Amino acid sequence: MLKSLVTRTRRNHALEHATLNLISRAHPNAQALGVSGPAGFTIYTSLTAEEIIPAAMEALKRLKAGECDLRVHKNCGTNMVVTATLTTSATLLGIKGKETLRKHLERLPHLILLNVIALLVAPPVAEWIQAHVTTDPDVGALEIASVFTDHQSGLQRIRVRTRQA
Protein backbone atom coordinates (compact mmCIF):
# COMPACT_ATOMS: atom_id res chain seq x y z
CA MET A 1 0.00 0.00 0.00
CA LEU A 2 2.83 2.43 0.86
CA LYS A 3 4.50 1.68 -2.49
CA SER A 4 1.24 2.49 -4.28
CA LEU A 5 0.91 5.84 -2.43
CA VAL A 6 4.49 6.77 -3.27
CA THR A 7 4.08 5.78 -6.93
CA ARG A 8 0.85 7.78 -7.27
CA THR A 9 2.43 10.80 -5.58
CA ARG A 10 5.51 10.65 -7.83
CA ARG A 11 3.32 10.45 -10.97
CA ASN A 12 1.12 13.31 -9.81
CA HIS A 13 4.24 15.32 -8.96
CA ALA A 14 5.48 14.77 -12.53
CA LEU A 15 2.10 15.87 -13.90
CA GLU A 16 2.08 18.92 -11.63
CA HIS A 17 5.56 19.93 -12.84
CA ALA A 18 4.65 19.33 -16.47
CA THR A 19 1.54 21.48 -16.02
CA LEU A 20 3.52 24.26 -14.35
CA ASN A 21 6.16 24.14 -17.09
CA LEU A 22 3.51 24.55 -19.79
CA ILE A 23 1.79 27.32 -17.84
CA SER A 24 5.04 29.25 -17.37
CA ARG A 25 5.72 29.06 -21.12
CA ALA A 26 2.26 30.34 -22.04
CA HIS A 27 1.99 32.87 -19.18
CA PRO A 28 5.52 33.88 -18.12
CA ASN A 29 4.33 36.50 -15.61
CA ALA A 30 1.67 34.38 -13.94
CA GLN A 31 1.91 33.31 -10.33
CA ALA A 32 1.62 29.56 -9.87
CA LEU A 33 2.56 27.20 -7.05
CA GLY A 34 1.83 23.49 -6.96
CA VAL A 35 1.53 20.79 -4.30
CA SER A 36 1.19 17.07 -5.12
CA GLY A 37 -0.14 14.04 -3.30
CA PRO A 38 -1.43 10.54 -4.06
CA ALA A 39 -4.87 11.80 -5.09
CA GLY A 40 -3.66 14.49 -7.49
CA PHE A 41 -2.24 17.98 -7.23
CA THR A 42 -3.31 21.50 -6.38
CA ILE A 43 -2.19 24.69 -8.09
CA TYR A 44 -2.52 28.09 -6.43
CA THR A 45 -2.43 30.66 -9.19
CA SER A 46 -3.36 34.06 -10.52
CA LEU A 47 -4.70 32.31 -13.63
CA THR A 48 -8.18 30.91 -14.16
CA ALA A 49 -9.19 27.28 -14.28
CA GLU A 50 -9.93 27.79 -17.98
CA GLU A 51 -6.21 28.47 -18.47
CA ILE A 52 -4.94 25.73 -16.15
CA ILE A 53 -7.12 22.74 -17.10
CA PRO A 54 -6.08 22.64 -20.78
CA ALA A 55 -2.43 22.91 -19.67
CA ALA A 56 -2.90 19.94 -17.30
CA MET A 57 -4.52 17.88 -20.06
CA GLU A 58 -1.74 18.79 -22.50
CA ALA A 59 0.89 17.99 -19.85
CA LEU A 60 -0.61 14.54 -19.32
CA LYS A 61 -0.70 13.93 -23.07
CA ARG A 62 2.95 14.98 -23.44
CA LEU A 63 4.13 12.84 -20.51
CA LYS A 64 2.35 9.85 -22.05
CA ALA A 65 4.10 10.66 -25.34
CA GLY A 66 7.47 10.44 -23.61
CA GLU A 67 8.32 14.11 -22.95
CA CYS A 68 9.85 13.20 -19.59
CA ASP A 69 11.88 16.43 -19.36
CA LEU A 70 8.65 18.16 -18.34
CA ARG A 71 8.79 16.32 -14.98
CA VAL A 72 11.54 18.62 -13.66
CA HIS A 73 10.65 22.16 -12.57
CA LYS A 74 13.21 24.82 -11.68
CA ASN A 75 11.22 26.10 -8.69
CA CYS A 76 10.41 22.76 -7.07
CA GLY A 77 10.66 22.59 -3.30
CA THR A 78 13.05 19.67 -3.76
CA ASN A 79 15.64 22.23 -4.91
CA MET A 80 15.39 24.13 -1.62
CA VAL A 81 15.52 20.95 0.47
CA VAL A 82 18.58 19.66 -1.37
CA THR A 83 20.34 23.04 -1.12
CA ALA A 84 19.57 23.34 2.60
CA THR A 85 20.73 19.78 3.23
CA LEU A 86 23.99 20.23 1.35
CA THR A 87 24.86 23.60 2.90
CA THR A 88 23.99 22.39 6.40
CA SER A 89 26.08 19.27 5.85
CA ALA A 90 28.98 21.40 4.56
CA THR A 91 28.78 23.60 7.65
CA LEU A 92 28.64 20.64 10.01
CA LEU A 93 31.54 19.04 8.17
CA GLY A 94 33.60 22.19 8.64
CA ILE A 95 32.82 22.70 12.33
CA LYS A 96 34.79 20.73 14.87
CA GLY A 97 33.36 19.97 18.31
CA LYS A 98 34.14 22.21 21.24
CA GLU A 99 36.58 24.68 19.74
CA THR A 100 36.95 28.24 20.93
CA LEU A 101 35.20 31.06 19.13
CA ARG A 102 38.58 32.12 17.75
CA LYS A 103 39.11 28.68 16.20
CA HIS A 104 35.62 28.80 14.65
CA LEU A 105 36.40 32.23 13.19
CA GLU A 106 39.70 30.95 11.80
CA ARG A 107 37.76 28.20 10.05
CA LEU A 108 35.25 30.66 8.56
CA PRO A 109 36.93 30.83 5.11
CA HIS A 110 36.92 27.03 5.04
CA LEU A 111 33.21 26.97 5.93
CA ILE A 112 32.42 29.56 3.27
CA LEU A 113 34.28 27.55 0.64
CA LEU A 114 32.46 24.35 1.62
CA ASN A 115 29.12 26.17 1.37
CA VAL A 116 29.99 27.67 -2.03
CA ILE A 117 30.79 24.17 -3.28
CA ALA A 118 27.49 22.91 -1.83
CA LEU A 119 25.61 25.74 -3.57
CA LEU A 120 27.29 24.92 -6.90
CA VAL A 121 26.56 21.21 -6.60
CA ALA A 122 22.98 21.61 -5.36
CA PRO A 123 21.19 22.48 -8.67
CA PRO A 124 22.31 19.41 -10.64
CA VAL A 125 21.83 17.16 -7.60
CA ALA A 126 18.33 18.54 -7.04
CA GLU A 127 17.47 18.11 -10.72
CA TRP A 128 18.66 14.50 -10.58
CA ILE A 129 16.60 13.87 -7.43
CA GLN A 130 13.51 15.36 -9.09
CA ALA A 131 14.06 13.28 -12.21
CA HIS A 132 14.74 9.98 -10.45
CA VAL A 133 13.26 10.12 -6.93
CA THR A 134 10.43 12.61 -6.42
CA THR A 135 8.74 12.33 -9.83
CA ASP A 136 7.80 9.49 -12.18
CA PRO A 137 7.05 10.53 -15.77
CA ASP A 138 5.78 7.03 -16.60
CA VAL A 139 2.20 8.04 -15.84
CA GLY A 140 0.84 4.90 -17.47
CA ALA A 141 -2.95 4.97 -17.56
CA LEU A 142 -3.19 8.04 -15.34
CA GLU A 143 -6.13 10.27 -16.17
CA ILE A 144 -7.62 13.45 -14.83
CA ALA A 145 -10.73 12.42 -12.94
CA SER A 146 -12.04 15.77 -11.74
CA VAL A 147 -11.16 19.40 -11.14
CA PHE A 148 -12.36 21.57 -8.27
CA THR A 149 -11.79 25.30 -8.07
CA ASP A 150 -12.20 27.92 -5.40
CA HIS A 151 -10.32 30.94 -4.06
CA GLN A 152 -7.84 31.06 -1.22
CA SER A 153 -5.78 34.05 -0.11
CA GLY A 154 -6.59 35.99 -3.28
CA LEU A 155 -5.48 33.20 -5.59
CA GLN A 156 -7.41 30.66 -7.56
CA ARG A 157 -7.02 27.17 -6.05
CA ILE A 158 -7.34 24.46 -8.66
CA ARG A 159 -7.42 20.91 -7.32
CA VAL A 160 -6.82 18.29 -9.99
CA ARG A 161 -7.78 14.76 -8.94
CA THR A 162 -6.31 11.85 -10.85
CA ARG A 163 -6.89 8.12 -11.09
CA GLN A 164 -5.43 5.13 -12.88
CA ALA A 165 -7.78 4.06 -15.65
23, 11: one domain: yes
Identify each DSSP E strand in the chain by its residue range.
32-37, 40-45, 142-152, 155-164
28, 100: one domain: no
Sign of the four-CA dihedral 132, 134, 135, 138: positive
41, 83: one domain: no
CATH code of 19's domain: 3.30.980.10
DSSP 8-class letter at 40:
E
How many structural domains are present in the chain? 2
> What average pLDDT does the segment 38-50 reach?
96
**How far apart (Å, rounded) are the C-alpha atoms in residues 47 and 44?**
9
pLDDT for 93: 83
21, 67: one domain: yes
pLDDT for 23: 97
Domain containing residue 117: 77-132
130 pLDDT band, cuts 50/70/90, is very high
46, 88: one domain: no
pLDDT in tens, 56-115: 999 999 999 999 999 999 999 999 999 999 999 988 888 877 777 787 778 889 889 999
15, 54: one domain: yes
3-state secondary structure 99-131: CCHHHHHHCHHHHHHHHHHHHHHHHHHHHHHHH
Calculate the average pLDDT of the chain.
93
59, 140: one domain: yes
57, 82: one domain: no
17, 68: one domain: yes
50, 103: one domain: no
- In this prediction the pTM is 0.89
15, 67: one domain: yes
Q: Contact 107/44 with Cβ under 8 angstroms?
A: no
46, 31: one domain: yes
pLDDT for 100: 76
